[in-house]
């Protein structure tokens, strides 16, 4: 075990002025990703919105920004930078970080949100599907965590949020591979939080429950009803419910919270 | 600033040591100030000073001041 040491004095004060502060969000064109982009822009942070397909993603993001009354954001280089890369390609990820480093902004936040879910029973899960979920959900998040924390070390300010899942905490039939990948994120969160705390970089995870996005779009009406039946608050979650907690974790309001996993699930039982 | 001055500045600032303590022989974990946390701060300082992004293998290999100079030469920085 390598121990971390030397805490930074007065560590809860943001060091980077708001106008220079930037947040990187992966999977930014997805449901939860778009809600995070909107919330971060409203907060006044510059957003690096990472997506696999810029043409498609940009359009989805523009529509979402417009329906939130943020009409000019998509065109404003001061507010938003679109990054196009596949999170599973480490070369592309490193190139994206080089672009962030060269920009006039300082990275103060990362939302490791890009994710892949492939439902299948244990006996019917191919190793390729297992590897793919580990690659996108775990390995890519690890690389982002590693590179982001290096940029954040310079300013000794940062907050990283890993988007896990209640499935990573509780497990579910048909989701052995997905739950393994999301549980791995929780271990990563706790260890990184301990290691990076002396550098004033916080690492937390959120564990969303059943959220209305593309990821759950294919659920049949019957399956949807049965899931909602097991949610105490009686409804599915919205991407904004998740973004609100992520915002809290990114902001200085949560300066004394690190290494935690917060469920955002309306008290769901699986 | 010359490259050697930039290198020394990075070491002084990251490890919080006196410039006089810096020599080619100074090695990682040989002094209390150059521990694992300080190593990551040093990497951030070097990346900032020289405007580069180091490969993870180079971060692992950077075990002394002499080794740091050798590695930085791969990034077209000469001393
Ligand atoms: N919805 C839920 O109920 C729920 C519950 C718990 C946890 N989560 C987690 O929440 C996160 C966001 O999911 P979501 O619900 O917002 O679903 P979503 O709309 O499908 O978003 C997932 C995003 O990840 C991106 N992505 C996947 N593989 C990628 C790759 N290799 N490179 C770059 N981007 C990639 C997708 O890009 P494309 O747009 O190009 O496909 C998509 O934008 C995921 O990590 C998911 O596991 C969701």
pLDDT tens-digit readout, B51-77? 999 999 999 999 999 999 999 999 999
- In the predicted structure, residue A11 carries a pLDDT above the cut 60: no
How far is Cα A141 from Cα A135, in angstroms, rounded to an integer? 9
List of chain A residues whose C-beta atoms are within 8 Å of the C-beta of residue B40: 149-150, 153, 199
To which residue do tokens 């990187």 refer? Answer: A24
Picking from A183, A187, A184, the residue whose alpha carbon sits closest to that of residue A171 is A183
User: Could you give the 3-state DSSP secondary structure of residue A212?
Assistant: coil
pLDDT tens-digit readout, A57-109? 999 999 999 999 988 877 788 899 999 999 999 999 999 999 999 999 999 99
Ligand 1, pocket-test mutation among A87, A215, A241, A265, most atoms within 8 A of CB: A215
Q: What distance in angstroms lies between residue B45's CA and the mean position of ligand 1's atoms?
A: 34
Picking from A21, A101, A39, the residue whose alpha carbon sits closest to that of residue A247 is A39
Residue A136's Cβ-count burial label (10 Å; 0-12, 13-18, 19+) is buried
How far is Cα B7 from Cα A119, in angstroms, rounded to an integer? 52
How far away is chain A from the Cα of B9, in angstroms, using its nearest Cα?
14
Domain ranges for chain A, please list them: 18-263
Helices and strands, counts by H and E, chain A: 9, 7
Q: Give, in words, the CATH class of A18-263.
A: alpha beta
**ipTM (interface predicted TM):** 0.90
Q: Given an 8 Å threshold on Cβ–Cβ distance, is B37 in contact with A198?
A: yes
For position A12, what pLDDT does the model report?
59
Domain ranges for chain B, please list them: 3-73
For position A154, what pLDDT does the model report?
92
Name the residues of A annotated as catalytic.
178
How far is Cα A115 from Cα A128, in angstroms, rounded to an integer? 16
Q: Given an 8 Å threshold on Cβ–Cβ distance, is A153 in contact with B44?
A: yes
How many inter-chain contacts (A to B, CB under 8 Å) are there? 33
Query: In the CATH hierarchy, which fold is given to the domain comprising B3-73?
Result: 1.10.1200
How far is Cα A253 from Cα A132, in angstroms, rounded to an integer? 36
Question: How many other CB atoms are found less than 10 A from the CB of residue A151?
Answer: 22
User: Could you give the 3-state DSSP secondary structure of residue B18?
Assistant: coil
How far is Cα A219 from Cα A211, in angstroms, rounded to an integer? 12
Q: Can you tell me the mean pLDDT for B25-31?
A: 97
For position A261, what pLDDT does the model report?
98
pTM: predicted TM-score of the whole model, two decimal places = 0.95
How far away is chain B from the Cα of A88, in angstroms, using its nearest Cα?
17
Average pLDDT over chain A reads 94
Q: Can you tell me the mean pLDDT for B9-15?
A: 96
Point out the residue among B37, B43, B56 whose CB comes nearest to the CB of A5.
B37
Instruction: Annotate A57-125 with DSSP letters as a single string.
Output: HHHHHHHHHHHTT-TTGGG-TTTEEEEE--TT-HHHHHHHHHHHHHSS-EEEEEEE-------B-GGG-
To which residue do tokens 């809290």 refer? Answer: A248
For position A227, what pLDDT does the model report?
95
Percent residues over pLDDT 70 in chain A:
95
Which strand (E) or helix (H) includes residue B12? helix B3-15
Q: What distance in angstroms lies between residue A247's CA and the mean position of ligand 1's atoms?
A: 18
How far away is chain A from the Cα of B3, in angstroms, using its nearest Cα?
19
As for ligand 1, residues whose beta carbon falls within 6 Å of it are A 27, 29-33, 52-53, 86-88, 113-117, 136, 163, 165, 208, 210-211, 213-216
């Amino acid at each position: 075990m390598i121990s971390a040491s030397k805490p930074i004095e007065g560590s809860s004060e943001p060091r980077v002025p708001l106008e220079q502060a930037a947040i990187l969000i992966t999977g930014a064109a997805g449901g939860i990703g778009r809600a995070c982009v909107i919330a971060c822009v409203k907060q006044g942070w510059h957003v690096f919105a990472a997506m696999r397909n810029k043409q498609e993603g940009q359009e989805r993001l523009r529509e979402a920004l417009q329906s939130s009354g943020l009409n000019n954001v998509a065109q404003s280089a001061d507010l938003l930078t679109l990054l196009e890369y596949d999170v599973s390609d480490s070369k592309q990820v490193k190139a994206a970080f080089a672009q962030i480093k060269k920009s006039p902004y300082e990275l103060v936040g990362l939302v490791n949100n890009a994710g892949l879910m492939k439902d299948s029973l244990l006996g019917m899960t191919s190793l390729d599907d297992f590897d793919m979920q580990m690659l996108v959900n775990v390995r890519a998040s690890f690389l982002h965590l590693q590179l982001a924390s290096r940029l954040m070390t310079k300013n000794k300010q940062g907050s990283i949020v890993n988007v896990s899942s209640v499935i990573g905490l509780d497990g579910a039939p048909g989701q052995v591979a997905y739950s393994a990948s999301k549980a791995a994120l929780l271990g990563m969160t706790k260890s990184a939080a301990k290691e990076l705390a002396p550098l004033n970089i916080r690492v937390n995870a959120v564990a969303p429950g059943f959220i209305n996005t593309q990821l759950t779009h294919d659920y049949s009406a019957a399956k949807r009803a049965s899931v909602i039946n097991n949610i105490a608050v009686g409804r599915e979650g919205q991407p904004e419910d998740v973004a609100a907690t992520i915002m809290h974790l990114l902001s200085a309001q949560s300066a004394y919270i690190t290494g935690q996993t917060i469920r955002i699930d309306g008290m769901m039982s699986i | 600033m010359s490259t050697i001055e930039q290198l020394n500045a990075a070491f002084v600032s990251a490890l919080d040591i006196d410039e006089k303590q810096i020599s080619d022989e100074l090695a990682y974990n040989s002094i209390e100030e150059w521990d694992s946390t300080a190593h990551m701060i040093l990497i951030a300082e070097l990346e900032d000073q020289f405007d580069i992004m180091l490969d993870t293998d180079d971060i692992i290999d950077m075990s002394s001041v002499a080794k740091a100079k050798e590695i930085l030469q791969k990034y077209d920085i000469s001393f």
